[in-house]
Structure 1
Amino acid sequence: MSTLLLALAAGALVGLALGALGGGGSVLAVPALIYLLGFTPVAATTASLVIVVLTSAAALSAHARDGLVRWRTGLLFAAAGVVPAALGGALAARLPGAVLTGAFALVAAVAAVRMLRPPAPAADDVPVRPVRAAAAGAGLGAVTGTLGVGGGFLAVPALSGVLGLRLRVAVGTGLVVVAVNALAALTQRAGTIGTLDWAVVGPFTAAAVLGAWDGKRLASRVSGTALRQVFAALLLVVAALMLADAVL
């Protein structure tokens, strides 16, 4: 299969996950860029941030049209992660490739476990704990900046469990957090964006944006549990392969 077709197929899968689940797609982007398209770990995390910013913005517009985004809540949550995301972006350029790969494998495994667990029902009267919310936002930002993942698989449970949002609203609002954190991390890598292979990143991103719109429609037609299980199984395979690569 040609590089272009691989980029389009991988991008479509990433977009579907982001659009349907609000997270998990960017965890697939980095290994796809490394193992299918030949990027180095550092270049893959930078390219993933570009893909995440544009794709999450596209998915966000679809959720916003349906009234499923709480802008103020999302922006406040994201604000706690802006500085950690920027610091993580600077740190990633100084870490060995094997360390990035190993850390990413662990994050992918966590994402898979999160997806396999049934979402906790959210009540409208759940009190917001500012310190806990800020800590969750900061931790999410650090993960986003260092590993080039959007962090939606962490943001959605946090918004639902910590802030008490309904699941569908948490998915839409989580995309605000994902976009802001990824953009903050990308500012620390602005000097390396021009060195990316845009013949690959461009088609990958375009397919992801289209996939995000399709993912939003898919989520309204297919059981959320079934979608999470499929992506979780795929992430577990990815995590195992990347961990083996980092260790061996």
Structure 2
Amino acid sequence: MTGLTFSLAAGAVTGLALGALGGGGSVLAVPALIYLLGLTPVAATTAGLAVVAATSAVALAAHARDGQVRWRTGLLFAAAGLGPAMLGGALAARIPGALLTGAFALVAAGAAVRMLRTAPAAGGAAPVRPGRAAAAGAGLGAVTGVLGVGGGFLAVPALVGVLGLRMRQAVATSLLVITVNSLAALATRAGTAQGLDWAVVAPFAGAAVLGARDGKRLASRISGPALQRAFALVLLGVAAFMLLDAAR
């Protein structure tokens, strides 16, 4: 397979994950950019932010039309994470690549375990808890900035397990959080973005945007518990691979 084919295929899978699961896109994008397309960890995390920001914005619009986005909760989450995301983004370039890879894998594994242990919420929408939303959002923003992830793979577990949203609401609302956090972290990485190979990144991003539309349609046909289990198992697989690589 050529580099362009790898880029298009990996981008499509990234978009599918974001559209269907409200996260997981950057968890898939960053390893693909490193291991399939040859970017350094710092460049891959910057490119991942650009790809995920664009894709999440498109997927958010589709979910918003269905009325699943909890705007107040999402905005509280995102606002609390803006400062930590920008600070983390400024610090990321000073962290060794192997340490970034290992930290990325550990965070993904922890989120996956929490998802497998947390039952999806049932019934009506849960009330917004501003304090808990702000605290969770601040932590999420810091992780977004340092690791170059949109944060959906952490936002979804937090929205389900901490704030009590149903899975479909959490998926839709996390896309708002991802978009805001990714743009904030990307703003602090202007220096690393200048060196990106856009001949690789642009096709990746385009395929991801198209894949997000299919992912949204897929999500409407799968139950919330099944989505949650699929999300967690994908995270575990990616985390295991990256931990093994970081340990070499």
**Structure 2 alignment gaps of length 5 or more:** none
Structure 1 residue runs of 4+, over 6 Å off?
none
Q: CA 1:5–1:119 in 2, change beyond 3 Å: closer, same or farther? A: farther
Q: Does the Cα contact within 8 Å between 1:90 and 1:188 map onto a contact in 2? A: yes
- CA offsets 1:171-202 (integer angstroms, 9 cap, x no match): 11111111101110001001221211111100
Alpha-carbon displacement from aligned partner over 1:30-85 (angstroms, at most 9, x marks no partner):
11110111000000000000011001001001001111112232112210000000
CA distance in 2, matches of 1:165, 1:13: 26
Task: Give the structure 1 partner of residue 47 of structure 2.
Answer: 47
Whether the 8 Å contact between 2:78 and 2:137 is mirrored in structure 1 is yes
1:109-128 residue pairs with structure 2 within 5 A? 109-117=109-117, 119-122=119-122, 124=124, 126=126, 128=128
Q: 1:44-193, aligned counterparts within 5 Å?
A: 44-117=44-117, 119-122=119-122, 124=124, 126=126, 128-193=128-193
Q: CA deviation at 1:23?
A: 0.9
Q: Which range is displaced more, 153-162 or 16-25?
A: 153-162
Q: CA deviation at 1:108?
A: 2.3
1:26 aligns with 2:18: no
Q: How many residues align?
A: 248
Check conservation: 2:90, 2:188, Cα contact below 8 A: yes
Superposition RMSD on alpha carbons, in Å?
A: 1.9
Give per-residue Cα distances to partners, 1:87-121, cap 9 Å, x unaligned: 11011100001110110111221233244345331
Contact 1:101 1:243 (8 Å CA) reproduced: yes
Structure 1 residues 231 and 148: alpha-carbon distance in aligned structure 2, compared to 1, 3 A threshold: same
Are the counterparts in 2 of residues 115 and 153 from structure 1 also a CA contact under 8 Å? Answer: no
Unaligned runs of 5+ in 1: none
Q: Give the AA of the match of 1:141.
A: G
Deviation at 1:128, TM superposition (A): 4.1
Partner of 1:219: 219
In 2, the alpha carbon distance for the partners of 1:192 and 1:72 equals 33
Of 76-85 and 229-238, the range deviating more from structure 2: 229-238
- How many angstroms apart in 1 are the aligned matches of 2:118 and 2:144? 24
User: How does the TM-score come out when normalised to structure 1?
Assistant: 0.92
Residues 119 and 225 in structure 2, CA contact (< 8 A), matched pair in contact too: no
Tell me which moved more, 105-114 or 51-60: 105-114
Task: Give the percent of matched residue pairs that are identical in Structure 1 and Structure 2.
Answer: 75
**Structure 1 residue 225: Cα displacement:** 4.0
What is the CA deviation profile of residues 141-164 of structure 1, one whole-angstrom value per residue up to 9, with x for unaligned ones? Answer: 011111111111221232234434
Query: How far apart in 2 are the matches of 1:234 and 1:123?
Result: 27
